[in-house]
Amino acid sequence: VEDVVETDVLIVGSGPAGAAAALCLSTLGVANIMVTKYRWTANTPRAHITNQRSMEVFRDLGIEQQVLDDATPHELVGDTVFCTSIAGEEIGRIRTWGTRPDREGDYQLASPCLTVDIPQTFLEPILVRNATERGTQARFSTEYLSHVQDADGVTVTVFDRLTGHEYRIRAKYLIGADGARSKVAQELDLPFEGEMDIAGSMNITFKADISALVDHRPSVLYWVIQPGSNVGGIGTGLVRMVRPWDEWLIVWGYDINDAPPQLDDEMATGIIRELLGMPDLEPEIQGYSLWGVNEMYATAMSKGRVFIAGDAAHRHPPSNGLGSNTSVQDSYNLAWKIAAVLAGYADPSLLESYSAERSPVAKRIVTRANKSAREFGDLFEALGVVGLDGEEMAAAIEERKANTAAGAAKRAALVEAMETKNYEFNAHGVELGQFYESSAVISDGTRPEPTADEDLYHAMSTCPGAHLPHAWVGDSVDRHALMDLAPYDRWTLLTGVAGEAWAEAADAVTSEFGLPLQTVVIGPGREVTDLYYDWAKLRDVAESGAILVRPDKYVAWRADVLPDDPAGALSAAVAQLLGRA
Ligand code: FDA
């Protein structure tokens, strides 16, 4: 008898993409199995910066507080330092992740959540625990081998590494969240642009209490410019906080054209001492590994019943901190669509919108992250260290202190070079400004209008395809973020007092299509009111108009005013969005 286990969705991988997919699907009541190759989740800290959109996802899924409990808080993440070593001289600082007072306002106005720092070793267990509590069947030490898809489903062969037993899982859909070396993506033969392994890098994790050197300038990132730091890697040497202030991760580059370095405790200790500028330090080394910097993205993220999510689709350096964030958001985009198709109220063609919406995001973030890593070149140029090494490099860095014309020119160049780093560390537009064009959005020909640089600033808008703007609503007792009124398990129609008639239209559409759709009327004396009158300025439609918000908080459709036949207008929109027109 053949061993076949059945489920609705099989997820390969328990990283940020896979574990988030499992959590989203289980939250929506979709049966799923998550298989992952190793006995547990990530064994090194890896990704850590967790941006506002990801925190919103966690808020929506009811795990925001759990993440905050394990995260280094926003107040401690932002005093990013550039130096010759941690104990050495400072070249400059930049306030990052929206912690500079003028940017903090932009960040706070755009979201109920702020950026925090949580290493993957802490985040993944939270995702996995909540997913399994809500229904996910998690199979560790289980390797994905291959799949075959047909008109009704996907048959996947997996290998139980404990028993040495191979078996098959039959699922309606397969999600390959199996990381940058994705076997699922390879088997699907999806189209990719770019290159892998463009630079060599190493991670060294260690414990050492260096509070005295850092707690007056609290940050996640301490960038080190010293001989060797302009070779390979992610721009320059990095000492990254894992836990304040006694657990750290160093990223240091090597020349990818040379034989890979033979990392051992002695070499790792040497690198730690150099970057910290503490020649006698005895660090407790936890581990080290070599990894390649990639610049590659998929231009299509699905084929039939198989999808890829996370690094399987976008492979890039950690610059801008977009790795696990984008991975979580891929899965959040995909899961509600699968749930809608399985529940029967959406046509399977809705699933095509996943690739249409997320592959442009993949391209944008891979491009941005690699550009940011390269822009350290501006800093090297400003310091005049390009092509230099050893003592020559040290002397060139020293020259910035000189009371000479050359010293003055260097100081002026540094001001500009430091400014460029905002594109890595305060790129609010890249972090939040994803805009979707697909069959799951009914465009009215508009796009959010940027008032400033699109990478640095996020323009809030209710244009179909944009993310629901943030506003605080409530009453004299409670205050809610608008997103809290539009939970993940349903669609939400937002309107004002003059648009109350939409509620009846929404009920009619719910009966017609069977989709979960609620109406929220915002106004005095209603369920919630526009506490600060912000929503009135953001909603971009008349009070009688309506904004249809998808489960993932993207605007699917909007009506400027209440039409004569609101049920007809809404029904036509919903039919088109669900592929049932
Ligand atoms: P991820 O790689 O996290 O997970 C893949 C999952 O698939 C794992 O659970 C794995 O076990 C599983 N898997 C793979 N093949 C399988 C198979 N055949 N069968 C079953 N399971 C399989 N980013 C950042 O922002 N800052 C950083 O400092 C770093 N540092 C860093 C260091 C190192 C060493 C790596 C490898 C990566 C980083 N990253 C990073 C990148 C960041 O970790 C990455 O963007 C996210 O983990 C992507 O999440 P995914 O879930 O897509 O893949």
pLDDT digits (tens, 9 = 90+) for 251-283: 999 999 999 999 999 999 999 999 999 999 999
**What are the CA-CA distances from residue 286 to residues 196, 206, 359, 557 (Å)?**
27, 5, 36, 51
Q: Decide if 27 is inside a domain.
A: yes
> Is the CB of 179 inside a 6 Å radius of any atom of ligand 1?
yes
Taking the centre of ligand 1 as the mean of its atom positions, its distance from the CA of residue 311, in whole angstroms, is: 7
**327 C-beta closer than 6 A to ligand 1:** yes
Whether 279 is in a domain gets the answer: no
Q: What is the mean pLDDT of residues 518-530?
A: 97
| Residue 38 DSSP label | S
The atom of ligand 1 lying closest to the CA of 13 is 7
Q: What are 195-231's pLDDT values in tens digits?
A: 999 999 999 999 999 999 999 999 999 999 999 898 8
Q: With a 6 A CB cut-off, is 323 part of the ligand 1 pocket?
A: yes
Q: Kindly report the protein residue whose alpha carbon is nearest to atom 35 of ligand 1.
A: 46
Residue 134 and residue 26 in one domain = yes
pLDDT at 304: 98
User: Do both 319 and 401 map to the same domain?
Assistant: no
CA of 179 to the centre of ligand 1 (A): 5
Domain residues for the domain of 385 are 376-420
**Is 364 part of a structural domain of the chain?**
no
Residues in a beta bridge with 207: 247, 284
The residue out of 355, 387, 402 marking a domain boundary is 355
Q: What is the number of domains present in the chain?
A: 3
**Is residue 349 located within the same domain as residue 380?**
no
The response to whether residue 46 sits with its C-beta less than 6 Å from ligand 1 reads yes
Statement to judge: residues 518 and 559 lie in one domain:
yes
Query: Which structure tokens are listed for 257?
Result: 């054209």
37 C-beta closer than 6 A to ligand 1: yes
Percent of the chain with pLDDT over 90: 98
Q: Are residues 51 and 133 in the same domain?
A: yes
Q: How confident is the model at residue 239 (pLDDT cuts 50, 70, 90)?
A: very high
Q: Of 365, 388, 420, which residue constitutes the final position of a domain?
A: 420
Q: Is residue 165 part of a domain?
A: yes
Residues 144 and 23 in one domain: yes
Going by the DSSP 8-state scheme, the letter that residue 349 receives in this structure is: G
What is the ipTM for the molecules in this complex? 0.97
What's phi and psi for 27, nearest 5 deg?
-60, -35
Q: Report the b/e string of 1-12 with b at 16+ CB within 10 A.
A: eeeeeebbbbbb
- Å from CA of 510 to ligand 1 middle: 40
Segment 357-364 shows an average pLDDT of 98
Question: Tens of pLDDT along 114-139?
Answer: 999 999 999 999 999 999 999 999 99
Res 230: pLDDT: 85
CA-to-CA separations, 530 to 139, 459, 547, in angstroms, rounded: 46, 20, 15
User: Does residue 146's CB lie within 6 angstroms of at least one atom of ligand 1?
Assistant: no
Same domain for 510 and 395:
no
Pair 481, 524 in one domain: yes
Tell whether 341 and 388 lie within a shared domain: no
This prediction's pTM? 0.98
Is the shortest distance between the CB of 326 and ligand 1 below 6 Å?
no
| Nearest-angstrom CA–CA distance, 563 and 568 | 9
Q: Is residue 92 part of a domain?
A: no
**Whether the CB of 183 sits within 6 Å of ligand 1:** yes
Does residue 15's CB lie within 6 angstroms of at least one atom of ligand 1? yes
Whether 227 is covered by a domain: the verdict is no
What is the reported pLDDT for 2?
67
The average pLDDT across 318-325 equals: 96
What is the pLDDT averaged over residues 339-365?
98
What is the structure's pLDDT at 3? 78
pLDDT per position as a tens digit, 167-203: 999 999 999 999 999 999 999 999 999 999 999 999 9
Q: Is residue 532 part of a domain?
A: yes
Nearest-CA residue for ligand 1 atom 10 is 13
In-domain check, residue 332: yes
Ligand 1 atom nearest to 323, measured from its CA = 45
Q: Between 323-343 and 352-374, two packed helices, what is the crossing angle to 10 degrees?
A: 180
For residue 165, the Cα-to-chain-centroid distance in whole angstroms is 35
284-298 sheet: strands from edge to edge: 90-95, 79-83, 221-224, 237-243, 247-254, 192-207, 284-298, 314-315
- Ligand 1 near 36 CB (within 6 A): yes
Measured in whole angstroms, how far is the alpha carbon of residue 553 from the centre of its chain? 15
What is the bridge-based pairing of β-strands 491-496 and 546-549? antiparallel
